[in-house]
Structure 1
Amino acid sequence: MSRAEAPPTDPHPTGTDPAGPPPWRWLTATDPDLVHALLTSCDAHQAAMSGTPAPARRPETTRRLVESGAVHLLHHATGPAGMFTLTERPPTGTDETVFPPAERPRYLQRLAVAPAWLTSGALVGVRCVRRAVEVAADTGGDVLRAQVNPDLRDTCALLALLGFTPCGPTFDDGAGRRHAHLHRPLRPAAADPEKD
């Protein structure tokens, strides 16, 4: 079992040492190998649950995204629990015409939860998506866009619950991999009192 797949020992810790690190914290990922292991373990789990092929993930892409500071990691005292990537540029091959117009879109990619946390009740996926919405808005985005495999019903339900709506058709690559596009408007950034 890899470090990214290590099961949590206590999803709801109580009585933590106030002088020690918090049980949950957000980090900017710095270890591409750990990120890639977390991503591919989640992909494999989702593929097994849905009966669909896992996406092809390139370690070089993971390394580039980590080095750019785009990968946000939710870390528990027991190890990495979830992650997402947030960028200002769309993933390669994205058909931008399916989305409603936006001036400052942000792109949610590579949302992943360590399989051991998926049934823990800690709502790691919810925490990741809420954090992505917050960061996208705080960096000036006016909409958050995403691609999702429509066969991952729990993921789709989570995104719908958190305000994402589908746009455009569902695409199929002919090899069993499908994806749909989602978007979520973001709250307007607070006006700068120094500007007219």
Structure 2
Amino acid sequence: MTTQHWEIATDAAEVHALLCASDQHQGRRFGSPVPARNPATTESRVRAGVVHLLRADDRAAAMFTLTWHPAFEPPTGVFPEAHTPAYLSRLAVHPSLGNSLAGPQCLRRAVSIARESGADALRAEANPDLESTVDVMVLLGFTRCGPIFGGEGSPRRTYLQHPLS
């Protein structure tokens, strides 16, 4: 039986390896570009205590970052009004767990923590080519905001918001 628990990540190298492995897996799976990840950004987010890590049998299984400021530049007016939004980024699941519930577990945990912390909305930027990820987000209460942005040489992006109030 697998034992799982949540923790605030403390090992930036472990987090970065999980993030890159997940990105590469998703890129192969959906034929989409793999983002270039900066280890220094991972290090700063781990140091800030905003990376939530799901361990399964003592290995890094999945993760997400939850902050009060966006890690992305949302287009003006794309999100509905919110007074205290939180921001979800860097959702990653270990490739060996591709068909598990680790991704939805991350999303549910992020919603719960954001709500408990006083956020009235949880916002995210996602690659629309990762259809199953976006579909799960919508199933769990996120709403797509605006059109798909990018393309023609720039990464395609969609924006989602989960109302929490």
Q: Is residue 2:53 matched to residue 1:73?
A: yes
State the 1:176 CA deviation.
Answer: 5.5
State the 1:94 CA deviation.
Answer: 2.6
Q: Is residue 2:65 matched to residue 1:85?
A: yes
Quote the Cα distance in structure 1 between the aligned partners of 2:42 and 2:147: 28
Matches within 5 A, 1:168-183: 168-175=146-153, 177-183=155-161
Q: How many residues are treated as equivalent by the alignment?
A: 165
State the 1:93 CA deviation.
Answer: 2.3
Quote the Cα distance in structure 1 between the aligned partners of 2:67 and 2:103: 18
Q: Is residue 2:40 matched to residue 1:60?
A: yes
Aligned to 2:105: 127
Q: CA RMSD in A?
A: 1.3
- Code of the residue aligned with 2:49 in structure 1: it is G
Aligned to 1:3: none
Aligned to 2:164: 186
- What secondary structure does 2:34 align onto? coil
Identity of aligned residues (%): 47
Quote the Cα distance in structure 1 between the aligned partners of 2:22 and 2:150: 21
State the 1:77 CA deviation.
Answer: 1.1
- What secondary structure does 2:145 align onto? strand
**CA distance 1:125–1:144, change in 2 (3 Å):** same
Task: Please tell me whether the aligned partners of residues 52 and 177 of structure 1 are also in contact (alpha carbons under 8 angstroms).
Answer: no
Structure 1 residue runs of 4 or more that deviate by more than 6 Å after TM superposition: none
Q: Mean alpha-carbon deviation: is it higher for 125-134 or for 174-183?
A: 174-183
Aligned to 2:116: 138
Quote the Cα distance in structure 2 between the aligned partners of 1:78 and 1:88: 29
Which of 5, 23, 27 is residue 7 of structure 2 equivalent to? 27
Which of 70, 75, 91 is residue 111 of structure 1 equivalent to? 91
State the 1:90 CA deviation.
Answer: 0.9
**CA distance 1:147–1:114, change in 2 (3 Å):** same
State the 1:55 CA deviation.
Answer: 1.3
- Code of the residue aligned with 1:131 in structure 2: it is R
Q: Is residue 2:35 matched to residue 1:42?
A: no
Quote the Cα distance in structure 2 between the aligned partners of 1:96 and 1:38: 32
| Higher-strand-fraction structure | 2
**CA distance 1:45–1:39, change in 2 (3 Å):** same
TM-score normalized with structure 2 length:
0.95
Instruction: Give unmatched runs, 5+ long, in structure 2.
Output: none
